[in-house]
Amino acid sequence: MDSRRRVPRTDLVLADPRLVATAGRLGRAIVKDAVAQAQRRARQGEIGPEEVADAAVAALPPYATSMRPVINMTGVLLHTNLGRAPLSSAAIASAAAAAGSADVEFDLATGARARRGRGALEALARAVPAAEDVHLVNNNAAALVLVATVFAAGREIVISRGELVEIGDGFRIPDLLISTGARLREVGTTNRTSYADYAAAVGPETGLVLKVHPSNFRVEGFTGSVEVAALAGLGVPIVVDIGSGLLAREPLLPEEPDAAGVLKAGADLVTASGDKLLGGPQAGLLLGRRDLVERCRRHPLARALRVDKLTLAALEATLRGPATPLHEALRADPAALGERAGMLADKLAGAGIDARAVSSEATVGGGGAPGVTLPSAAVSLPERFTVPLRTGAIPVVGRVEGGRLLLDLRTLPVDRDDDVMRAVLEADG
C-alpha cells in the first residue's frame, strides 16, 4: 500500500492531547497549520505517517505572534531593528496587568469617567518638574505632526537648514512637517545658522520656530548654531525636538539635550521619544507650557494619535519603577564586562570552540548620541556561527568584524550569559 494513504486525517491528529492543550494557548489555526505541514512532509516521504503528530508538536511556535524574542549582542544599546529599548521587568508586568479590563479611563472610587492615562501623565510630569503640563502620543513623529498642525497649519515653521534631518527609513522631517499643511521657512546654511537668521524670518506668518536635535549625525568644523535661550524672545512658540527621550542630564552623554534643561533654557514645547534613552515603550512625549499643551490635547488630531493602555501602563512603570535595562547597559562597568566575556569564552573554549574574549566598543544607537562610543567587551567566535546563532531556538544577534563574529556583552543582561552559552553550543552542533 502507498504509504501516503496511511497519513492520518487532520481531525485524528488534532485530537492528540498535546495539540489540544496547545490550541488553547496558540489558537486552533496555528496548530492546524503545523499539522498540515507535518502531513505534507509525510506525503513527501520525509517522515513516517506515524510521526505526523510528533512533527506537528515539534513545529509549533512558542508564541502566537510571528515576532521572536532575540538576544541583542550587537553592542548597539538601542537597536531600531530589534525593537529599540528592552522594557524593564516592571514595565512588562504592568503591561500584562493592563492587558485585560483596566481602569484606563475610569474612576473606581466614583464610578465616573476619568482622565485617560492619568497615572502615566502624572509620572511624566513628576519626572520633569520644569514642564507645566505634559501629553502623550504614539511616537515622536506624531508629537511633531500634532504640534505643527495645531500651531502652523497654513502658516510658516522657521527652521535651520542644518536641522532638516532624515530620521530613518527615508522619513524626512521636512516632508513630515509639510504634510500638516505648514510651510517651511528655511534659515541659515547647512553648517551655520545665526540668531539674525531667525529674527529676520519671524513675522506675521510664523506659526513656530522649530529646533531639531541632529541626533543621528554630527557636523564638525566651521559650524554655528543658536542656543534655545537666545530664541526665547522672538515672540512665537519655540519648539525643540530633542528626539532621544532623555528627561534629565546624563553625564555619560554630555552632548545629548534633555527635556528639563531645554525647558529651563526657554523652550515653550519639547517633543521626545519614549523608547530611546528613556528606556520605555514606543511613545511620543510632549512637554511644556500649559496653554500650548492643552491646545494640542484638545485638537481633533490628538484622538488619532493617542496611546493604548499597554503603552500607558509600561510607560508609567518605566518612569516610576527600577532602572531600565537600557540604563543598566549604559552604566555597565567595562571591567565587569571583561570578566564576563572572559568566563564565557573560557567555558566555550573548554568545549572545543574557538572563542576569545576581546575588547569592544558599543554605541547608543536609536538615533542618539552620534559619535559616542562606550568601552565594552565581547566574545569573538568564528564567522560561521553568525547564521546558526541568528536562526537558533533562541536567536542571538551579534556583529561581524574582521572575519569574526563579536558577541558584545554590554547589551546582554547578566542573567542571560548561560542562555548565550547554550545557544553557542547548539549552534556548534
- What pLDDT does 3 receive? 61
- 301 with 157: CB under 8 angstroms? no
**Which among 424, 331, 408, 422 is positioned nearest to 82, based on CA atoms?**
408
**Which among 378, 395, 356, 413 is positioned nearest to 71, based on CA atoms?**
395
- 200 with 188: CB under 8 angstroms? no
Confidence of residue 167 (pLDDT cuts 50, 70, 90): confident
Distances (CA, A) of 404 to 341, 342, 358, 383, 426: 15, 17, 11, 5, 18
Confidence of residue 12 (pLDDT cuts 50, 70, 90): very high
Domains and CATH numbers, the chain: 3-59 (no CATH), 71-83+327-428 (3.90.1150.180), 89-322 (3.40.640.10)
pLDDT at residue 2 greater than cutoff 60: no
Condensed to tens digits (0 to 9), the pLDDT of residues 65-94 reads: 999 999 999 999 999 999 999 999 999 999
Exposed/middle/buried for 280, CB within 10 Å: 0-12, 13-18, 19+? buried
- What pLDDT does 243 receive? 85
